[in-house]
């Protein structure tokens, strides 16, 4: 086992930024063992999180790095003419699918914390000639957008990496138009996971240790003022023993495999009232 560490929020942001800078330069096959890419010590050919986008209208294979834990656009209710914001847009995968849904008169904005990802997304955009997608570098906890700017906010396996999720959902509420809504795919915890897994910085950047208990996650959304909160889909994340053994002992692995503790991929939708 590695020594436990507890990075502060700023350190965690740098960890995620550094890892995503590496991921941006990798192929999809090198990233699919986690929603946020594989570490150098976990080179196992498993698709734990990511869903298959290849048949979705608007799909751009150059933008698909295999980093998601769901397909939020399937449940986001995106309509022609909408302005959609994708948080943690990466190389642009969900943005290109959303662009197909909003049509020529709609717009899609991707926000990402990592300069290398923004550069990759913009390279992918140049190849398409689309004029109604933009990629912006910025922090989800303090978005560089005006109040009430977007009809729909989407995100795919990213908010678990944000240290202050209260701020993140407050910002989502702020930038949504009255009557707008979000649809987010993310990972949450069922039961209490061992501390050495939760405190491990490398696994944090792999989308596991940043996850909150389901009840706490849903409570934050409610506390931020959202209504109509619904879980659209959920599935148990079956992490192979070959990965777990890097972080857990035999008894802890058995508890996870028996379903007493674990990681769940969920897609959540909720709205901002018209009166807001």
* pLDDT tens, position by position, 148-184: 999 999 999 899 889 899 999 999 999 999 999 999 9
pLDDT at 40: 43
Residue with more model confidence, 190 or 32: 190
Residue with more model confidence, 253 or 98: 98
pLDDT at 220: 98
pLDDT digits (tens, 9 = 90+) for 199-213: 664 555 455 667 889
What does the pLDDT average to over 40-49? 43
pLDDT at 159: 92
Domains and CATH numbers, the chain: 9-265 (3.40.50.150)
pLDDT digits (tens, 9 = 90+) for 216-225: 999 999 999 9
pLDDT at 47: 45
pLDDT at 31: 46
pLDDT at 102: 98
Would you place residue 26 in the very low, low, confident or very high pLDDT band (cuts 50, 70, 90)? Answer: low
pLDDT digits (tens, 9 = 90+) for 175-206: 999 999 999 999 898 888 777 776 664 555 45
Would you place residue 13 in the very low, low, confident or very high pLDDT band (cuts 50, 70, 90)? Answer: low
pLDDT at 18: 60
Would you place residue 256 in the very low, low, confident or very high pLDDT band (cuts 50, 70, 90)? Answer: confident
Spatial CB neighbours of 254, under 8 Å, sequence gap ≥ 6: none
* pLDDT of residue 1 exceeding 50: no
pLDDT at 236: 83
Taking alpha carbons only, the member of 13, 123, 111, 129 closest to residue 63 is: 123
* pLDDT of residue 133 exceeding 80: yes
Q: Rounded mean pLDDT of the chain?
A: 84
* pLDDT of residue 39 exceeding 50: no
What does the pLDDT average to over 254-268? 85
Would you place residue 99 in the very low, low, confident or very high pLDDT band (cuts 50, 70, 90)? Answer: very high
**Spatial contact of 269 and 181, defined as CB atoms under 8 Å apart:** yes
Would you place residue 254 in the very low, low, confident or very high pLDDT band (cuts 50, 70, 90)? Answer: confident
Task: Give the range among 60-64, 81-85, 168-172 with minimum mean pLDDT.
Answer: 60-64
Tokens representing residue 42 in the block = 């976990």
What does the pLDDT average to over 40-54? 57
pLDDT digits (tens, 9 = 90+) for 103-114: 999 999 999 999
């Amino acid at each position: 086992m590695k020594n436990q560490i507890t990075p502060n929020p700023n350190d965690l942001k740098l960890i995620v930024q550094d890892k995503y800078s590496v991921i941006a330069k990798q192929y999809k096959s090198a990233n699919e063992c986690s929603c946020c890419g594989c570490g150098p010590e976990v080179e196992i050919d498993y698709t734990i999180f990511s869903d298959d986008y290849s048949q979705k209208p608007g799909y751009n294979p150059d933008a698909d790095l295999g980093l998601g834990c769901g397909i939020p656009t399937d449940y986001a209710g995106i309509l022609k003419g909408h302005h959609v914001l994708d948080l943690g847009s990466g190389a642009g995968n969900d943005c290109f699918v959303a662009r197909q849904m909003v049509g020529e008169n709609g717009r899609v904005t991707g926000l990402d914390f990592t300069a290398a990802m923004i550069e990759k997304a913009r390279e992918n955009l140049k190849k398409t000639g689309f004029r109604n997608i933009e990629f912006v570098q910025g922090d989800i906890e303090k978005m560089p957008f005006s109040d009430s700017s977007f009809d729909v906010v989407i995100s795919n396996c990213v908010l678990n990496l944000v240290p202050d999720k209260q701020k993140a959902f407050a910002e989502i509420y702020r930038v949504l138009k009255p009557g707008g809504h979000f649809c987010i795919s993310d990972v949450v915890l069922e039961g209490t996971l061992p501390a050495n897994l939760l405190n491990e910085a490398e696994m944090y950047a792999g989308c596991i240790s940043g996850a909150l208990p389901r009840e706490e996650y849903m409570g934050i959304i409610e506390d931020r003022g959202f209504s109509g909160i619904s879980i659209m889909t959920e599935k148990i994340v079956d992490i192979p023993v070959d990965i777990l053994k890097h972080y857990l002992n035999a008894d802890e692995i058995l508890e996870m495999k028996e379903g007493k503790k674990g990681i769940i991929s969920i897609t959540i939708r909720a709205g901002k009232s018209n009166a807001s």
